[in-house]
Amino acid sequence: MPTSTVATSTERGPRRHAAGFTLIELGLVLLIISVVMVLVVPRFRDQSHAQLISQTRKLAATFRFLQQEAILNGRVYRLNFDLDQQRYFVTAADASDPDANFTQEKGILTRDVALPSTVQIADVNVPLTVGKLYEGIGWVQFYPDGYVDPSVVHLDNGQEVYTLYVDQPLTGRANVQSGYLDLGARG
């Protein structure tokens, strides 16, 4: 008796692939995820770095604002740094009276700013007036003719330092640089 063989579709014809991923595909996905984690996660954990950059930019904006305000209003402004309380604030005086008392300014950009606990003012150096201070109160003056006292302010978070400096008093431009920069060391 002849045996008849019935072919099934699994024995002959197109072969179906099992659904899923190969070991190589899974390995590549894990590699990409691990690279992204290595690059991104440390920045999320280190909020003090973000706060340091934010406070440095905010202070640089305050420098630009006060220079423009001094020119527009014809007043002398002081950006005061209280190194003991880790804060800064703005005072102003009438430019026509050089012996006038400086009074604290009110407004959103001139309000008293207390630094977060992760950021501190390391030192303030204004060589022509108060010198280099590590404690107490120092200030940078902004004049109606656009002149700004040459100055250096160092902000740090215990791990890194950012320097805000004005080295061209006639332009009054506040520059920001990562690392510790001393005004006397610039050539």
- How far apart (Å, rounded) are the C-alpha atoms in residues 58 and 87? 13
Residue 13 covered by a domain? no
Our count of domains for the chain comes to: 1
pLDDT of residue 13: 56
Residue 149 covered by a domain? yes
pLDDT tens-digit series, residues 114-148? 999 999 999 999 988 888 999 999 999 999 999 99
Residue 87 covered by a domain? yes
CATH of the domain at 153: 3.55.40.10
Residue 58 covered by a domain? yes
pLDDT of residue 20: 79
pLDDT of residue 43: 62
Residue 133 covered by a domain? yes
pLDDT of residue 7: 52
Q: What is the pTM of this model?
A: 0.72
Full domain range(s) for residue 149 = 47-185
- Closest residue by Cα to residue 139 from 96, 50, 76, 183: 76
Residue 68 covered by a domain? yes
The stretches in the chain having pLDDT less than 70 are 1-18, 42-46, 98, 109, 183-187
- How far apart (Å, rounded) are the C-alpha atoms in residues 100 and 160? 39
Residue 38 covered by a domain? no
Which residues touch 159 (CB under 8 Å, ≥6 apart)?
Answer: 48, 49
Residue 161 covered by a domain? yes
